[in-house]
Amino acid sequence: MDNIVVVRGTASNGIAEEISAILNVPMIGAEYHILADGESYVRIPEKVSGKIVILVQSTYPPQDKHLIELFLLMDAIKSYNPKKIILIVPYLAYLRQNKRFKEGEPISADIMLKMIKNAGADALVTIEPHRPESLVVFGGKSMIADPLPAYVAAVPKGLKKAVVLSPDNGGLQRAERFAKLLGTPFTSIDKERDKTTGKIYIKSESTFDFKNRDVIIIDDVISTGGTVAQAAKFVKSEGANKVLVIAAHLIMVGNCGKKIKNAGVSSITGLNTVPSKGTRVVDASRILTESIEGILRLNEY
Amino acid sequence: MDNIVVVRGTASNGIAEEISAILNVPMIGAEYHILADGESYVRIPEKVSGKIVILVQSTYPPQDKHLIELFLLMDAIKSYNPKKIILIVPYLAYLRQNKRFKEGEPISADIMLKMIKNAGADALVTIEPHRPESLVVFGGKSMIADPLPAYVAAVPKGLKKAVVLSPDNGGLQRAERFAKLLGTPFTSIDKERDKTTGKIYIKSESTFDFKNRDVIIIDDVISTGGTVAQAAKFVKSEGANKVLVIAAHLIMVGNCGKKIKNAGVSSITGLNTVPSKGTRVVDASRILTESIEGILRLNEY
């Protein structure tokens, strides 16, 4: 471990410090300011030559700025000729556009991962990248840190007949895995998003009986809160008792928090991959560090 | 020309329309909106398969957003399998950081040009890229459109004993070339920028006699206006008559315009590579089109 150094990028939200503490290795904070014309300036103020560099750079809003800064940081680190660069992107933006829904669209997820690869990252660690298969494009060593075990301690004790709910069929596996950790049943409701308007509606009624049950809604990202609010309203209308929400990345734009609360949700739990607007924050540093340790072990760096 | 199509990106400022009109080829406007979470969505709504695509995308502020959109647009165009992509970036951001002024800095100019190359542009056209030699990194065919002849018509008639002034020694060649077009003398003043504070000061007095002369200050980019304002104040204090400013890219952040006017400048002329805050706007479309025609001719596309 004496050859490892953590570099805190411009969007780490405290995670770089924690990883440095858990691994017991030094941390270098990137120098950072916005130039008068709006361009970002970064600098790595200490030599990292010959070292294994763990760069922590999330890409929460403003996503484009944090992405460009990621590329600047990679170049600055490479100027020292490090041994390897392990790039930690706790929240990776643009992953939802992972196919051409309509002709003439970009596959944004592939572009971002190719650009990260071209920037010279030897390994990549992220959390809940919408579709894990997107990471194949990265090509290098990539690891997806699993947040589900970390959520368990954040679930309040004494829930009544708890059930884990995915607000769409795409997340059913996530709900199943989390339900197994909690020892509860799980289900999903079927949602559709209109490709043009973006409007979400519940396609068919669930056959699960939510009456008098506490419901834990689990998802990957909460942006506008539309999906989660609609699911909460639905289970409330079906007689559910308490409704809790857990999601990895709480982007939560505009009146998202209010929308979710108004739908009858009592608490929103998320990771610190994004500066949190949730009720409870679960630190992602430990699960990210486990992935880093996996990479170090596998590659014998 | 029947195999050529212009695509208007998300930051064209009218240039795509003009190039399409001059070349007499069709133009497709990219679909564009900002998603609820702040990510950019683009789409090319018409097939460009087998065509020579001229993509117009400037990267004026917000630079990072326009850069990421450039990469999204490139991927969307490539999805149709066009014959070639000629990328027109009237203003290319991040080019001023073209070397490591301090250890541990990125070379931002190289990163941007490499990313544009990796995005699949076959040719690149830009204007006043700070240091022309930066474009070597692009690798593919690149052309720098020269704005100096286009400025001539924007210089008012009847100037008194006009002299062209570069506000720093680095721009002396530009001043010399422009002075030749106008048939006037030229000179520069020696400026230094403190690498840490960014403060600009005039290092040594010019030996040129500005008394009762009209002075045309010429530069590549005006961002804060500090350089130009200082030069204007200096020549005014030396007895200059009228002071005019011409620069390609008028980024002009904050109180830049006021700062320049207060320094005694009577007009600011610039290109439409950036949504203009100047007094006079010179259309860059014709010089860009000349470069495009050069590329088409040279490559026999």
Instruction: Return mean pLDDT, chain B.
Output: 94
Domains contained in chain B, number: 2
How far apart CA B152 and CA A51 sit, in angstroms, is 55
Same domain flag for B291 and B227: no
3-state secondary structure of A235: helix
Same domain flag for B23 and B51: yes
A-chain residues within 8 Å CB-CB of B57? none
Same domain flag for A203 and A251: yes
Same domain flag for B23 and B105: yes
Question: Span B217-245, mean pLDDT?
Answer: 96
Range of the domain at B45: 4-146+284-299
> Catalytic residue positions of B?
191
Q: What pLDDT, on the 0 to 100 scale, is given for residue A203?
A: 66
**Which among B71, B105, B198 has CB closest to A115?**
B71
Question: Span B242-261, mean pLDDT?
Answer: 96
Question: Span A194-221, mean pLDDT?
Answer: 82
Please, which residues 40-69 of chain B have a Cβ atom closer than 8 Å to chain A?
40-47, 61-65, 67-69
Model confidence over A97-136: pLDDT tens digits?
999 999 999 999 999 999 999 999 999 999 999 988 999 9
Q: Are B76 and A106 inside 8 Å of each other by CB? A: yes
Same domain flag for A160 and A237: yes
Same domain flag for B263 and B188: yes
Same domain flag for B171 and B258: yes
Q: Are A105 and B76 inside 8 Å of each other by CB? A: yes
Q: For residue A115, give the nearest of B122, B72, B9 by alpha carbon.
A: B72
Helix (H) or strand (E) holding B123: strand B123-127
Q: What pLDDT, on the 0 to 100 scale, is given for residue B162?
A: 98
Same domain flag for A235 and A135: no
Share of chain A above pLDDT 70, in %: 96
Asked whether the predicted pLDDT for residue B289 surpasses 80, the reply is yes
Same domain flag for B195 and B209: yes
**Which among A36, A46, A72 has CB closest to B111?**
A72
Asked whether the predicted pLDDT for residue A278 surpasses 70, the reply is yes
B-chain residues within 8 Å CB-CB of A105? 42-43, 76, 79
Q: What pLDDT, on the 0 to 100 scale, is given for residue A200?
A: 63
Q: How far is A163 from chain B (nearest CA, A)?
A: 29
Q: Are B110 and A79 inside 8 Å of each other by CB? A: no
Same domain flag for B230 and B242: yes
**Which among A39, A72, A253 has CB closest to B38?**
A253
Whole-number Cα distances in Å, A212 to A235, A263, A265: 10, 17, 15
In which band, very low, low, confident or very high, does the pLDDT at B200 lie, cut at 50, 70 and 90?
low
Same domain flag for B10 and B141: yes
Model confidence over A126-181: pLDDT tens digits?
999 998 899 999 988 999 999 999 999 999 999 999 999 999 999 999 999 999 99
Residue B1, Cβ neighbours under 10 Å: how many?
9
How far apart CA A160 and CA B149 sit, in angstroms, is 78
Asked whether the predicted pLDDT for residue B95 surpasses 70, the reply is yes
Asked whether the predicted pLDDT for residue A205 surpasses 90, the reply is no
Model confidence over A225-239: pLDDT tens digits?
999 999 999 999 999
Residue B103 is part of a domain; what is its CATH number? 3.40.50.2020
Tell me the HSE value of A85 on the side-chain side, using a 13 A CA sphere: 27
Q: How far is A115 from chain B (nearest CA, A)?
A: 7
Q: What is the ipTM, given to two decimal places?
A: 0.93
Please, which residues 198-227 of chain B have a Cβ atom closer than 8 Å to chain A?
198, 223-224
Q: What pLDDT, on the 0 to 100 scale, is given for residue B8?
A: 98
Residue A32, Cβ neighbours under 10 Å: how many?
16
Instruction: Return mean pLDDT, chain A.
Output: 94
In which band, very low, low, confident or very high, does the pLDDT at A196 lie, cut at 50, 70 and 90?
confident
Lowest-pLDDT choice from B22-36, B46-60, B193-207:
B193-207
DSSP class per residue in chain B: -TTEEEEE-S--TTHHHHHHHHHT--EEEPEEEE-TTS-EEEE--S--TTSEEEEE----SSHHHHHHHHHHHHHHHHTT--SEEEEEESS-TT-S--S-SSTT---HHHHHHHHHHHTT-SEEEEE--SSGGGGGGG-SEEEEE--HHHHHTTSPTT-SS-EEEESSGGGHHHHHHHHHHHT--EEE-EEEE-TTT--EEEEE---S--TT--EEEEEEEESSSHHHHHHHHHHHHTT---EEEEEEEE---TTHHHHHHHTTEEEEEEETTS---SSEEE--HHHHHHHHHHHHHHHT-
Same domain flag for B31 and B135: yes
In which band, very low, low, confident or very high, does the pLDDT at B201 lie, cut at 50, 70 and 90?
low
**Which among A37, A62, A114 has CB closest to B223?**
A37
Higher pLDDT, B204 or A273: A273
